[in-house]
Amino acid sequence: MRTDALVRRQKIIMTACELYRSKHHDSLTMENIAEKAGVGIATLYRNFPDRFSLDMACAQFLFEGVIGLEEEAVAAFDNNPREVWISFNKALIDKGLGSLVPALAPRSLDELPPEVSVLREKTKVLTEALIEHGKKHKLVHADIDARTYIVGLITVSRTPLPALAAVTENLSTTLLGIFLAGLEHGGQPV
């Protein structure tokens, strides 16, 4: 692929991700995405023949970014555990994890294309390593597993309704703080 075409493709992906962070996935059309990316609809369809292929390109982009953050956090964790743990989780929220995962996840993980499944599996392994580091440094309770952690993080980092966001400044970081404190103490269903 030519460099200019690759840059254009990346811009479409990044624009779609940004729109998915701020608007409900189903309310956006391919035309909205093309317009916001500054490309013609034919260019968008030349790169992504349908919405699913665009979504999976966005998922791949998200997984690649998360993997980079995870690898950095695993490598640095033991040097300054609490700071690395908090910074890593803030970075995931900044990437829009809570908005993008629900927007991009298919009904079944079996629907993920092979290249995205491989990235998902790598993310899973790295997340498990981070949870183990967190347990070692008493930042994560022994009864917390990687699945509980990721579902919880996605839940607390979802974009709040505008009315709720107006009630509290820095709602996402406040909820993240509560969530991370809860991870330290463990959680049992009530």
pLDDT tens for 149-181 read: 999 999 888 877 767 666 777 778 888 999 999
**Where do runs of H (alpha helix) occur along the chain?**
3-22, 30-37, 41-47, 51-76, 81-94, 97-104, 114-136, 146-156, 162-167, 171-185
pTM, two decimals, is 0.89
Question: Domain-by-domain residue ranges, the chain?
Answer: 1-49, 51-185
Share of the chain above pLDDT 70, in %: 95
User: What is the fold, at CATH topology level, of the domain defined by 51-185?
Assistant: Tetracycline Repressor; domain 2 (1.10.357)
Is CATH 1.10.10.10 the right assignment for the domain spanning 1-49? no
Q: What pLDDT does residue 151 have?
A: 92
Write out the two tokens for 176. 């993240």
* pLDDT tens string 45-67: 999 999 999 999 999 999 999 99
For residue 1, the model assigns a pLDDT of: 63
pLDDT of residue 55: 94
Looking at residue 108, its pLDDT comes to 85
The pairs formed by 46-55 with CB atoms below 8 angstroms and a separation of 24 or more are 47/8, 47/9, 47/12, 48/12, 52/106, 54/12, 54/13, 54/16, 54/30, 55/16, 55/103, 55/104, 55/106
On average, the pLDDT of the chain sits at 91
